[in-house]
């Protein structure tokens, strides 16, 4: 019984072929393609408005040099948003509950921001490892501590997203199982648990959107520190 709760986090496969690639590319199929028509559909208008809103919010903490990253950050935000929300549907697989995938997203982008800082302002970037006015005996220890905290950043990004989504999915499955089990013996308690399940689902929808935004926002803050 305990193992079945975690079966939802295993990568699906068909005839031994993993289907995670389909799960990651499916959100892109939901986006309508742009055309040259003057009059577009309501869905295209809503999609364009949402993309503009996300781009403006992500570019607020960045100066003009960081606006070159607008397409990357916006695309990542939309991908995480759609993937997290689609994962709340029944009998679906959420790729962002896999720590390996989240680290594969966080590590290259964090490394790109770090290399950007080392290329554009190497002295300032390296100066973050040693605060000004540090006593001489503490210099080796502080450099080691600051380097460790710097290297933990991509790990924190991946673990934060994985932990929040995994905890939410487990809670939904536990409460939904309790609702089904109690419906024949204690209908009143089952109705109460169903109400809790509905409220928890609404909360998880908000968590899915917030975690996607926080993931990309922290990347933009890392970028701002290095440009």
Q: How much is the pLDDT for 155? A: 92
Which residues, including other chains, have CB under 8 Å from residue 175's CB and lie 6 or more apart? 193, 196, 197, 200
| Residue 125 located in a structural domain | yes
pLDDT at 1 over 50: no
| Number of domains present in the structure of the chain | 1
Q: How many CA atoms lie within 13 A of 183 on its CB side?
A: 8
Place 216 in a pLDDT band, splitting at 50, 70 and 90: very high
| Residue 2 located in a structural domain | no
Nearest partner of 5 among 138, 123, 166, judged by Cα: 166
| Residue 187 located in a structural domain | yes
Average pLDDT of span 31-41 = 67
Among the ranges given (11-25, 42-56, 125-139), the one the predictor scored with the smallest mean pLDDT: 11-25
| Residue 3 located in a structural domain | no
pLDDT at 38 over 80: no
pLDDT at 17 over 60: yes
Q: How much is the pLDDT for 6? A: 63
| Residue 49 located in a structural domain | yes
pLDDT at 139 over 70: yes
Tens-place pLDDT, residues 146-188: 888 888 989 999 999 999 998 888 888 889 888 888 888 888 8
| Residue 119 located in a structural domain | yes
Q: How many residues does the chain have?
A: 227
Which residues, including other chains, have CB under 8 Å from residue 160's CB and lie 6 or more apart? 211, 214, 215
Average pLDDT of span 2-9 = 60
Nearest partner of 100 among 9, 208, 7, judged by Cα: 9
Residue written as tokens 């996300």? 54
In the three-class reduction of DSSP (H, G, I as helix; E, B as strand; rest coil), residue 67 is classed as helix
Q: How much is the pLDDT for 147? A: 83
Name the percent of the chain lying above pLDDT 90: 19
Tens-place pLDDT, residues 39-62: 667 777 788 888 888 888 888 878
Q: How much is the pLDDT for 195? A: 92
| Residue 7 located in a structural domain | no
d(CA 140, CA 174): 49
Domain that holds residue 159: 19-226
Q: How much is the pLDDT for 206? A: 93
pLDDT at 213 over 80: yes
| Residue 118 located in a structural domain | yes
Tens-place pLDDT, residues 80-128: 998 898 888 887 888 888 888 899 999 999 999 888 888 888 777 777 7
């Amino acid at each position: 019984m305990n193992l079945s709760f975690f079966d939802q986090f295993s990568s699906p496969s068909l005839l031994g072929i993993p289907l995670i690639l389909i799960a990651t590319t499916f959100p892109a199929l939901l986006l309508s393609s742009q055309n040259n028509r003057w009059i577009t559909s309501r869905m295209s208008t809503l999609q364009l408005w949402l993309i503009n809103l996300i781009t403006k919010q992500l570019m607020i903490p960045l100066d003009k040099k960081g606006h070159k990253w607008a397409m990357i950050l916006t695309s990542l935000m939309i991908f995480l948003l759609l993937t997290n929300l689609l994962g709340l549907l029944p009998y679906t697989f959420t790729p962002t509950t896999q720590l390996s995938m989240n680290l594969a997203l966080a590590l290259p982008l964090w490394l790109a921001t770090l290399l950007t800082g080392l290329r554009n302002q190497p002295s300032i970037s390296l100066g973050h490892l040693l605060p000004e006015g540090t006593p001489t005996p503490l210099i080796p220890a502080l450099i080691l501590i600051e380097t460790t905290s710097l290297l933990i950043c991509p790990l924190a990004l991946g673990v934060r997203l994985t932990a929040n989504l995994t905890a939410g999915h487990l809670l939904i499955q536990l409460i939904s199982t309790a609702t089904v089990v109690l419906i024949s013996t204690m209908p009143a308690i089952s109705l109460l648990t169903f109400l809790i399940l509905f409220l928890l689902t609404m909360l998880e929808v908000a968590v899915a959107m917030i975690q996607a935004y926080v993931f990309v926002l922290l990347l933009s803050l890392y970028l701002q520190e290095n440009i």
